[in-house]
């Protein structure tokens, strides 16, 4: 049974990774136009969910924040230092040792080697969980700075009050806690992996040059974001998220999306996307046309658009059942909540962001719906043709045109959300987002906040004269 579960889990992960770039295209295009400060111009702040993280970007830089799968015990503090140095000392990533399925960090090679030789001598009792809470059968995260040694053993506590209560009768309390601790079934107290961040400046020519100011053509930046920046972010996040993958025997698997595997995965997704959402709807519409004798070019394109929309919704629903993609959709929800909180002027904390909605009016999922509607009208101008090659080719070649028009509608709707008619027209976009957003955890919100804060920190502070120069004409960057 365990082998079967391992095989099924492996197949699920493989399918999720093959579809990552295509799912990334669906999740692309989340932007917010905001006035950051009086000394800064308006920009579009874009975001995109990636594997175990979020990418945020402005017109100046992009930041990808990913939760590393490497779980570090007792906050990365050196367990040997409590005994040898008599103090709590943060360890270093340079001196790590894996024991009991988590990583332990040390201040020196000597400390690491001492722990590796006799881990049970130095490891905190009850896996590092708060000793006071363990008396009640509870697993509480410790504060590594609050500790005590008794009878040659290390105990950690969640706060000073718990330690004081414990030390009133340490022998009795140790017996009570020991009865609650179910080693080896219980795991050491290990926080979720650290947040790893990759930052890179963005090209001034692409994001702050003339192109973002030209209607229709600025939609090309969205395509650039989705195909290049977004895909690169997804591949990098996959490398980080899979860095601790192990096979059934516990051996680490060397997986990298930065080389041929990444290129192959991207090409597979692009071919799948074009075939599934562009070519197949045209073929099905052609078949319906032949079966019914339909002659109206507009009606044929409406049918093609409805087929395309059904395929998009069906694909999202099916891929959303895969566990890894469900987590990706949780990070999509985290990205929306954080951007909504930022736009609303709320503090950038998980608690504050969690109060904001999962939906966002400029989400890439809703953008797909706009693309489908626009494509009906654009393709109708091509008229009627029995040439399947022309029909397929024209759909692919006109993607930039359709995207450009759809982008302009997104901009218009964003600027006119206060109008009842516009709110009614964008409501289907919000409904569709329920397929690609799941409620995030506070840990996921922390990752999203980290990415946005890095982007905000990287922005230059402009003098008033520079602000006026940059805001006339309006500065616009793409959706990501």
Nearest C-alpha neighbor of 30 from the set 478, 447, 356: 478
Full pLDDT tens readout for the chain, 480 residues: 444 444 344 444 444 554 555 555 555 555 444 333 333 444 456 788 888 899 998 878 889 999 888 888 998 999 999 999 999 999 998 999 999 888 999 999 999 999 999 999 999 999 899 999 999 888 888 999 999 999 999 999 999 999 999 999 999 999 999 988 876 556 677 666 778 898 888 877 777 777 777 887 777 766 666 667 777 787 788 777 766 554 444 444 444 445 565 566 667 777 777 778 878 888 888 888 888 888 777 788 788 888 888 888 888 888 888 888 888 899 999 999 998 898 888 999 999 999 999 988 777 777 777 887 888 778 777 766 667 778 778 777 888 888 888 888 877 887 787 888 888 888 888 888 888 899 999 999 999 999 999 988 887 654 333 433 443 333 333 333
- Residue 148's pLDDT is 96
Query: Which sequence spans correspond to the domains of the chain?
Result: 2-67+197-471, 74-180
Contact 335, 48 (CB under 8 A): yes
pLDDT score for 185: 55
Q: Show the 3-state SS of the chain.
A: CHHHHHHHHHHHHHHHHHCHHHHHHHHCCEEEEEECCCCCCEEEEEEEEECCEEEEECCCEEEEEEECCCCEEHHHECCCHHHHCCCCCECEEEEEEEECCEEEEECCHHHHHHHHHCHHHHCCHHHHCCHHHHCCCCCCCCEEEEEEEECCEEEEECCHHHHHHHCCCHHHHHHHHHHHCCCCCCCCCECCCCEEEEEEECCHHHHCCCHHHCCCCCHHHHHHHHHHHHHHHHHHHHHHHCCCCECCCCCECCCCCCCHHHHHHHHHHHHHHHHHHHHHHHHHHHHHHHHHCCCCHHHHHHHHHHHHHHHHHHHHHHHCCCHHHHHHHHHHHHHHHHHHHHHCCCCCCHHHHCCCCCCCCCCHHHHHHHHHHHHHHHHHCCCCCCCHHHHHHHHHHCHHHHHHHHHHHHHHHHHCCCCHHHHHHHHHHHHHHHHCCCCCCHHHHHHHHHHHHHHHHHCCCCCHHHHHHHHCCCCCCCCC
Q: Return d(Cα 436, Cα 334) in angstroms, integer.
A: 12
Neighbours of 158 (CB within 10 A): 18
Cβ contact 225:479 at 8 Å: yes
Contact 446, 52 (CB under 8 A): no
What was the pLDDT predicted at 1? Answer: 40
Question: What pLDDT score does 258 carry?
Answer: 55
What are 150's strand-pairing partners? 153
Asked if 187 contacts 100 with a C-beta cutoff of 8 angstroms, the reply is: yes
Q: Provide the pLDDT for residue 126.
A: 92
Q: pTM for the whole thing?
A: 0.73
- What's the CA gap between 97 and 456, in Å, rounded? 36
pLDDT of res. 395: 77
pLDDT given at position 425: 86
What gap in Å lies between CA 311 and CA 170, rounded to an integer?
A: 64
Distances (CA, A) of 291 to 281, 282, 395: 15, 14, 22
């Amino acid at each position: 049974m365990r082998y079967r579960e391992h095989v099924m889990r492996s197949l699920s992960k493989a399918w999720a990774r093959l579809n990552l770039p295509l799912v990334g295209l669906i999740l692309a295009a989340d932007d917010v136009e905001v006035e950051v400060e009086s000394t800064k111009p308006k920009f579009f702040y874009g975001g995109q969910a990636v594997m175990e993280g979020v990418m945020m970007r402005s017109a100046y830089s992009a930041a990808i924040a990913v939760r590393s799968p490497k779980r570090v015990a007792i906050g990365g503090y050196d367990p040997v230092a409590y005994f040898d140095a008599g103090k709590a000392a943060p360890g270093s990533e340079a001196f790590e040792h894996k024991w009991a399925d988590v990583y332990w960090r040390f201040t020196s090679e000597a400390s690491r080697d001492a722990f590796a030789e006799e881990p049970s001598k130095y490891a905190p009792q009850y896996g590092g969980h708060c000793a006071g809470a363990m008396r009640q059968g509870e697993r509480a995260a410790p504060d590594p700075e609050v500790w005590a040694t008794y009878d040659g053993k290390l105990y950690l506590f969640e706060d000073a009050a718990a330690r004081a209560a414990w030390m009133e009768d340490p022998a009795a309390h140790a017996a009570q806690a020991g009865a609650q601790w179910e080693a080896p079934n219980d795991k050491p107290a290990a926080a979720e992996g650290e947040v790893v961040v990759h930052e890179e400046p963005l090209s001034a020519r692409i994001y702050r040059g003339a192109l973002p100011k030209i209607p229709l053509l600025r939609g090309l930046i969205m395509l650039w974001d989705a195909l290049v920046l977004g895909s690169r972010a997804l591949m990098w996040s996959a490398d980080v998220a899979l860095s601790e993958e192990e096979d059934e025997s516990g051996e680490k698997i060397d997986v990298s999306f930065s080389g041929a595997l990444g290129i192959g995965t991207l090409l597979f997704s692009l071919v799948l996307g074009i075939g599934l959402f562009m070519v197949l709807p045209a073929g099905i519409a052609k078949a319906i046309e032949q079966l019914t004798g339909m002659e109206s070019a507009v009606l044929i394109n409406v049918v093609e658009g409805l087929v395309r929309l059904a395929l998009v919704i069906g694909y999202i629903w099916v891929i959303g059942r895969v566990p890894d993609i469900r987590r990706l959709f949780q990070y999509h929800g985290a990205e929306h909540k954080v951007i909504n909180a930022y736009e609303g002027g709320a503090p950038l904390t998980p608690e504050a962001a969690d109060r904001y909605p999962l939906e966002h009016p400029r989400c890439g999922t809703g953008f797909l719906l706009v693309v489908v509607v626009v494509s009906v009208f654009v393709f109708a101008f091509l008229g009627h043709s029995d040439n399947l090659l022309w029909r397929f080719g024209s759909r692919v070649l006109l993607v930039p045109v359709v995207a450009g028009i759809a982008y302009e509608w997104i901009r218009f709707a964003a600027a006119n959300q206060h109008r009842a008619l516009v709110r009614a027209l964008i409501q289907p976009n919000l409904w569709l987002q329920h397929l690609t957003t799941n409620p995030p955890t506070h840990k996921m919100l922390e990752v999203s906040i980290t990415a946005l804060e890095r982007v905000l920190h990287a922005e230059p502070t402009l003098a008033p004269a520079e602000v006026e120069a940059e805001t006339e004409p309006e500065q616009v960057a793409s959706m990501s």
